[in-house]
Structure 1
Amino acid sequence: MQSCVLCILSKHLCLPAPALGDTNYANFCNCGKTIERRLQELGAEQFYNTGYADDGVGLEVVVDPWLEGLWKAIKEALSKMASDRIALLKEDAGSSSKETPDSYTPNVQLNLLSLSDQQDCHIVRASADTDSKYATADSIPASATQTAISDLSCDPTAGIPVSVPQTIATANASISALDTQTEYAGDPQAASLSRSLPPLSESSLNVPALPPPYLDVSLQDVDTVEQNIGRLNNESLIEVPIHRAVQLTRGDSVKTAVLLELDISAHPEMFFEPGDSFDVFCPNRATEVEAMLHRLGLQDKRNHRVHVSLKKETKKKGAQVPSYIPQNISLLYLFTWCLEIRSVPKKAFLRALVEHTGDSVQRRRLQELCSKQGAADYNLHVRDLSLSVLELLTVFPSCSPPLRLLIEHLPKLQPRPYSAASSRLKHPGKLHFVFNVVEFPACYGRPAGKRGLCTGWLFDLINRGLVFPGKAECSDSLALPTIHVSLRSNCSFRPPSDLSVPFIMIGPGTGVAPFIGFLQQREKERQEKPEAVFGETWLFFGCRHRDRDYLFREELEGFLCSGVLNHLKVCFSRDEPEQEEEQVTASAARPRYVQHILLRNGRYVTDILLKQSGYLYVCGDAKNMAKDVNDTLIEIIKAELRVDQFEAMKTLAGLREEKRYLQDIWG
């Protein structure tokens, strides 16, 4: 996400707005930091700390408290500016002995409207646009910006702030019996998705502006069966059979990793290089689609044609009909292939759901979850649990949103990208990829655990024909199904074109997948060009257990023995160290993660990157591993070059600009 800094420049005074970024990526809030640093170089004085908002965990986690403290800082800054102005006037008037009256002493009044102040709420409503139901913070007068409830007409008691029910007992009596069927049953007074506790349950709330509707949706009873493959008519999609499926992990492994081999021999246009990735197009689960149709009361209209058009005179800026919804599709097709029904509902969606919730207690709870005051509850009970809108609607049975609302707020069902884990030179006509079967545990609102959308779908497709470690493949095994894929070229995340250049690969878990393709390619190149000079290759790999989830162990050890791979550094985060390892690591902590063994080899890493102009590739988890590796590289450069943090970061940034520090990471 891009960052922004709003500057008020007066006598070198600078007010930074929160920088927006995502820690899933290495240059977190880099734009905001750069602008802030430049303003300070130009003499601007910072009177309030910059907030670095992280979209990876939720922008509101930083933005809300940042805004809370902003007003006090503004008041103090304005008071100081006024005092400085008075001092300057007194100094200028000193020769005339003209006194500045005491009444001129600055008395800055920064009045923020409270939702508990009904009169002020009426003022905001009267001063806003006549269509204040769909107002945004920008359309409210500056003095009312923090009164974030802009829909004061959604309730018969318009103008009255959102308030707590008369008694907590009344609230608890109205809450669904779902509360007693969950992990919270042992503590009936615990907070949950459907129930809050003081102080939140007794607080006035600041909720987002109500998003204006912008679509008209109708269902037509016509035959659309022939249109139900419309999405898959995309010319870039290729239907390919699954040729082989192998489970790479032992049955008692924490995660289940599977290798799929696709037969692309009939599709010469599927030309890929090691490091390339491709998309797998998967549908929403049929059971969840049916559950959604039933929840919306549309199960009898599943084959009706969906007509979507732009609402006339909508208040939404730049509104348009979603391009990912084709014409002449059925309702069943819409929910199966077009909308991401598993997406976590954002606060704007929750705010819109409030308008379609009949029960006052449930309506209040939805308001809490989308409010500034309820940010912690939203993160804990919705975002952190990856709760879907269907699971949310199960907990709030009086909420009956129209189909239009779901089309407006549910995002496009995106294809899932995977890295190629093979080389065409070694496996002509085949394409390998690896995935972990993602598991979401049961929680409140989700009585049973579920698998990831694409990984669960793939696992169900190949489950009966899956080959397990140590077992021979059956020649008469069941034929595996076909899937739809689309190639995504990645022209940068590839081995160096110059064979003599050394490179380092860092890929724990399934992050090792593209590097198997790298090494298979290097193996064939060594066979075809025995006279060539090849640069050193390093692989840093990590997993939990040596005997359970050491992916591609035999192949990697074979690469090491043949010289294709020069250095293989492996760590096991859950295994106890063996006796010889204990002796070696007696004076140092045992490396548990790839960044630890990377740090131990810092001298070689800097030599390859900075003296030999080598390359470094990182593949895997963005939230933890990639960030930790990046931080470790900075520490290595600081130690080896004896420079400060800023210089080390500049050096690493230079490697990025030269495209010698490359990442293929996911959240």
Structure 2
Amino acid sequence: MSQTEDPKICIIYATQTGQSKTIAETINDEAITNGFEPKLYNIDQFGKDFKLNEITDPLIFVCSTTGDGETPESARKCFSTLKRLDTETNTNYLNNLNYALLGLGDTNYTQFCNGPKLFHKRFQELGAKCFYGPVWADDGTGLEIEVEPFKEGLWDVLDDFFKKQKKDHNKQLVENSDTDKLCEELNKLAIINPSLSNELSVPEFVENHFTIEFLDEKKTQDENGLLKIFSILYPQSSSGIFKAKIIENTKLTRDDAEKDCYDIKFLIDSDKEILTYEPGYAIDVICPNDDTEVTQLLKRLRVDDSKNKIFKLKSKDSSKKLGQTYVKITEENDINLEHFFKYCVDIRWNSLKKNFLRFLSEYCSDESEKNRLLQLSSREASEEYQSLIKENLITLLDLLNIFKSCQPPIEHLIQMLLGLNARSYSLCSSSSKQEMEFVFNLVKFKKDLNRTYEREGLGTGYLKNLKQNDHFYLMKRKFQNFTFPDDSEKPLIMIGPGTGIAPFIGYLREKKDILNNLNLYLFYGCRDPEKDFLFKNEILEDFAPNSKLFSVSFSRFVYDEKDKFVDFIEKHHVKDSKYVQDSIRFHSKEMIQLINEKNGYIYVCGDAKNMSKDVFNCFAECLCKELEMSNEQANKYLMDMIKNKRYKQDIWA
């Protein structure tokens, strides 16, 4: 929970005659008065505007009873959906739901408050936790006898709930372990490597040329202030920085999928600014550092008492380029230390270059810790640096948790930190629509190996938590290298497993009315057709029938013909194909004819580490097979295609 935002709550009412609606609206008004940010829903909005298993804010549920203990008509769709779930396989379906329940009934009827009680029982069976109540209000004796105490006690309970939530989060984030309690891999990071000699080639120490002055005035950054800071931090944003408003943030994958994939739909929140784009374009989203991580870092650096103060940086040597952007930010803007660390500097892995480790070593009072950081910064320890720090995406807070005697001055640390980069995402919407859209996989890092706390990816963790009507900032990516060919008559081979399908979805949506006239070949891959097949219905109903070829591969699913699992598999799935390159090999002859005889294009989007290399090698293999080329000739053929922009890649690490 951000320290600059009101804590968010969700209020849902299920009404038959309007009583629970009136009470819910009163709770909504009182929530605002008590410093909360509520969202109010009628339960008949279930499935359209909210899903119970996606609610992460505390829920206040006001539910009435109708007939002889039945749920209100507006709630029956929701309850029947929950009722159909198998409790044996869905015990954690509502694991993230924390709720307070106020039930309305009448003791003059046999089944008093049975409707709310049915919801309460089902919530519990599906893993939800009741943090307040349940309270059963009796219309026979007067609803206010129970309703008023419920409302009066609610705000203190919610305050305690958020305090506990924050305390638990902080405890998990900075649960510092002593060196002897860390796992074996962590010991490798913290303990001197005796096999390295004392003669090490280390980077030159970068002297501090900053001074810092804290002012007594405190400052909370407003929108105009942020935009000024962003314009300095991102000078490449020639097209401008856009304020966007979330329309919908939906989880696309099933709860038991290996990865959580989210789909964000948004609008540019401006009457004057328009973001023009075409299929294949990507946006750069400005994603701030996590509030709790920033708080704990400033505490570890012993500057948390000054975190809300405006500060000014000055350079003792203006000829030094390092950190001059930060000087300009503090000179031209009133920004406090907490917001500077939240919006301006990279405190994750990107800043932890070898010269940064050399810098940290200088401020260790423990000699063994100093020597170990010197080792890790050296040329001789390149393999250790790669395996222990870079590959494990160690953060600044991790290092400071491990090397406890390290206490760098805040002004020197700021000088050494890199600027916070925006995160790029391919648009999957048609440019003819005002509403824009992109998808992403949530990245998670467990507390293991060298990591001293659990965390989510900086960009994906931030985006996952955005809710309807929330705002975020973005830029159009400066270099758009994945635009589609103007010549629509030539074959276009599109390869995009996982979220790599995004730009192709945008292109297919753009060309939806003329797909029959195009020569399109789409290769897609996912783990399981039921768990994480993105845009499944749209692809199978709108795109696959109108493409020359659609082929899908499943890396974690084995199809048994006896099961007749899904009717599209026999038509669009090459048997035993786990990855897109398996399907490409199966269609080898046709693919090589398309690129060699018809001057077709190849577009690849997705993972740079494995997939893109494997696809390139697969096409080289197909060229060798079909045209009897040598490996060298096949590689040159594909490199010429890249040079002539007939083989394009939009890939990420």
Instruction: Answer yes or no: same fold by TM over 0.5.
Output: yes
- The reply to whether residue 349 of structure 1 matches residue 343 of structure 2 is no
1:358 positional shift: 0.3
The structure-2 alpha-carbon separation of the partners of 1:264 and 1:377, relative to structure 1 and needing over 3 Å to count, comes to same
Structure with the greater alpha carbon radius of gyration: 1
Please state if 1:335 is matched with 2:331.
no
- Structure 1 stretches of at least 4 aligned residues deviating more than 4 Å after TM superposition: 226-229, 265-268, 489-492, 580-584
3-state secondary structure, aligned to 2:609: helix
Residue 559 of structure 1, CA deviation: 2.6
Residues 404-432 of structure 1: CA deviation (Å, up to 9, x unaligned): 3322221110111110011133xx21001
1:504 to 493, 502, 520: 493
Structure 2: distance between partners of 1:324 and 1:450: 30
Letter in 1 for 2:202: P
Find the aligned partners of 1:520 and 1:407 in 2 and give their Cα distance: 45
Aligned counterparts, 1:482-493, within 5 A: 482-488=471-477, 491-493=480-482
Aligned to 1:182: 182
Give the conservation status (yes or no) of the 8 Å contact 1:638–1:644: yes
What residue is the counterpart of 1:596 in the other structure? 582
State the secondary structure of the residue aligned to 1:262: strand
Distance 1:337 1:177, change over 3 A: closer
The number of residues matched between the two structures is 456
Correspondence list, 1:355-374, <5 A: 355-374=362-381
CA contact (8 A) 1:214 1:319 kept: no
In 2, the alpha carbon distance for the partners of 1:238 and 1:409 equals 29
Structure 1 residue 501: deviation in Å?
2.0
Distance 1:181 1:226, change over 3 A: closer
One-letter code aligned to 1:249: T
Q: Return the letter of the residue paired with 2:553.
A: C
The 5 Å alignment of 1:567-582 reads: 567-579=549-561
- Which residue is equivalent to 1:220? 214
Percent identity, aligned pairs only? 32
- C-alpha distance in 1, partners of 2:436/2:448? 37
- Once the two structures are TM-superposed, the CA of residue 263 in structure 1 deviates from its matched residue by 1.9
Cα distance in 2 between the residues matched to 1:373 and 1:288: 32
Aligned partner (choices 168, 188, 191) of residue 192 of structure 1: 188
My pick for the range that moved more, 588-597 or 236-245, is 588-597
Pair 1:376–1:561, CA change in 2 (3 A): closer
Q: Tell me the alpha carbon deviations over residues 92-123 of structure 1, each in whole angstroms, 9 at most, x when there is no partner.
A: xxxxxxxxxxxxxxxxxxxxxxxxxxxxxxxx
| Aligned twin of 1:448 | 453
Gaps of 5+ in 1: 1-175, 463-478, 527-532
In 1: Cα distance, 2:343 partner to 2:270 partner: 26
Letter in 2 for 1:248: L
What is the alpha-carbon distance in structure 1 between the residues aligned to residue 268 and residue 226 of structure 2? 21
User: One-letter code of the match for 2:476?
Assistant: L
Q: Does 1:241 align with 2:241?
A: no
Aligned to 2:466: 461
Q: Measure the CA separation in 2 of the matches of 1:381 and 1:491.
A: 34
Q: 1:388 aligns with which of 372, 379, 395?
A: 395
* SS at structure 1 position matched to 2:437: strand
Tell me the alpha carbon deviations over residues 497-533 of structure 1, each in whole angstroms, 9 at most, x when there is no partner. Answer: 233222010001000011111111121345xxxxxx8
Structure 1 residue aligned with 2:200: 206
Residue of structure 2 aligned with 1:408, choices 415, 418, 438: 415
Secondary structure, aligned partner of 2:313: strand
Q: Point out where structure 2 has 5 or more consecutive residues left out of the alignment.
A: 1-175, 232-238
Q: Give, in angstroms, the shift of residue 238 of structure 1.
A: 1.3
Matched with 1:321 is 324
Over aligned residue pairs, what C-alpha RMSD do you find? 2.8
| 1:614 partner letter | G
1:240·1:264 contact (CA, 8 Å) conserved in 2? Answer: yes
- Separation in 2, partners of 1:653, 1:561: 30
Structure 1 residue 557 corresponds to structure 2 residue 557: no
Deviation of 1:211 (Å):
2.6
Deviation at 1:264, TM superposition (A): 3.1
Distance 1:361 1:238, change over 3 A: same
Q: SS where residue 250 of structure 1 aligns?
A: coil
1:88: which partner in 2?
none
Q: CA deviation at 1:450?
A: 0.9
Whole-angstrom distance in 2 between the partners of 1:634 and 1:404 = 52
Distance 1:355 1:535, change over 3 A: same
- 1:432 is the counterpart of 2:437: yes
Alpha-carbon distance change, 266 to 212 in structure 1, aligned in 2, over 3 angstroms: closer
Change (3 A) 1:228 1:451: same
Aligned to 2:615: 629
From 310, 315, 328, the counterpart of 1:305? 310
Quote the offset at 1:445 in angstroms: 4.9
Deviation at 1:286, TM superposition (A): 0.8
Residues in 2 aligned to 1:302 and 1:192: alpha-carbon distance in whole angstroms:
34
Other-structure match for 1:538: 521
Q: TM-score, normalised by structure 2?
A: 0.65
Q: Aligned pair in 2 of structure 1 residues 196, 380: CA closer, same or farther (>3 Å)?
A: farther
1:276–1:419 contact (8 Å) kept in structure 2: yes
SS in 2 for 1:334: helix
CA distance in 1, matches of 2:406, 2:248: 45
User: What SS is found at the alignment partner of 2:419?
Assistant: coil
1:469-507 Cα offsets, whole Å, 9 max, x none, are xxxxxxxxxx43111111226554223223322201000
Q: Which has the higher strand share?
A: 2
Is the contact between residue 275 and residue 494 of structure 1 (CA under 8 Å) also seen in structure 2?
yes
SS in 1 for 2:651: strand
Which of 619, 625, 629 is 1:639 aligned to?
625
Answer yes or no: is the 8 Å Cα contact 1:228–1:330 preserved in 2.
Answer: no
* TM-score, reference length from structure 1: 0.64
Q: Residue 591 of structure 1 contacts residue 597 of structure 1 at CA under 8 Å; is this kept in 2? A: yes
* SS of 2:408 mapped into structure 1: coil
Any conservation in 2 of the 1:385–1:443 contact (CA below 8 Å)?
A: no
Bigger mean CA deviation after superposition, 245-254 or 267-276: 267-276
Q: What do residues 114-147 of structure 1 show as CA deviations (whole Å, max 9, x unaligned)?
A: xxxxxxxxxxxxxxxxxxxxxxxxxxxxxxxxxx
Instruction: Give the letter aligned to residue 189 of structure 2.
Output: L
| CA–CA distance in structure 2, aligned partners of residues 300 and 520 of structure 1 | 53
| CA shift digits 1:519-558 (9 cap, x unpaired) | 11121345xxxxxx82321111111112111111111111
**Distance verdict in 2 for CA 1:325–1:231, change over 3 Å:** farther
Take 2:214 and 2:520, find their aligned partners in 1: how far apart are those partners? 61
Q: Deviations over 1:6-63 (max 9, x none)?
A: xxxxxxxxxxxxxxxxxxxxxxxxxxxxxxxxxxxxxxxxxxxxxxxxxxxxxxxxxx
Amino acid at match of 1:546: P
Aligned-partner Cα distance in 2 for 1:561–1:652 = 27
1:495 & 1:183 partners in 2: Cα distance? 49
With over 3 angstroms needed to count, the CA separation of the structure-2 counterparts of 1:313 and 1:507, relative to structure 1, is: closer
1:654 corresponds in structure 2 to: 640
Tell me the equivalent position of 2:424.
Answer: 417
User: Which residue matches 1:255?
Assistant: 259
Query: Secondary structure at the residue paired with 2:578?
Result: coil
Distance across 2 between alignment mates of 1:606 and 1:265: 46
Distance in 1 (alpha carbons) for counterparts of 2:491 and 2:608: 24
Query: Match of 2:82?
Result: none
CA drift at 1:236: 1.2
Does the C-alpha gap of structure 1 residues 432 and 660 become closer, same or farther in structure 2, counting only changes over 3 Å? Answer: same
Asked if the contact 1:274–1:423 (Cα under 8 Å) also holds between the matched residues in 2, the reply is yes
1:206 to partner: Cα distance: 0.8
Code of the residue aligned with 1:417 in structure 2: it is S
In structure 2, C-alpha distance between the alignment counterparts of 1:608 and 1:196, rounded to whole Å:
57
Instruction: Report the CA distance between 1:349 and its aligned residue.
Output: 0.8
1:271 Cα offset (Å): 1.3
Which residue is equivalent to 1:124?
A: none
